[in-house]
Amino acid sequence: MDVLKIIAELREERRRIDEAISGLEKLTLRGTPRRGRPPVWSKVAHGAVPQSSNGQNGSSHGAALSPRQD
């Protein structure tokens, strides 16, 4: 087992991960406003999870309605 080779591979992997993180950060910080409603994943990424009126996550419409009667 060559420890120096393992260290070199780990450093290369860390470099690739740092590049991926930098690329993702650039995407989120573009600065150009987009049209329409932002996707849910962008809200979650910034820590703003939507809350319903009853204090639980998710939508307050539709989920708690009684079954539909035809």
pLDDT digits (tens, 9 = 90+) for 28-53: 877 666 678 877 877 766 665 556 56
- The pTM of this model reads 0.42
pLDDT at 63 over 80: no
Give the count of beta carbons closer than 10 Å to the beta carbon of residue 42: 13
Is 37 or 8 the better-scoring residue by pLDDT?
8
Q: Tokens representing 10?
A: 């780990």
Tell me, what's the pLDDT at 29? 77
pLDDT at 27: 83
Reduced to 3 states (helix: H, G, I; strand: E, B; else coil), residue 46 is coil
Give Cα separations from 49 to 4, 14, 59 (angstroms).
44, 30, 11
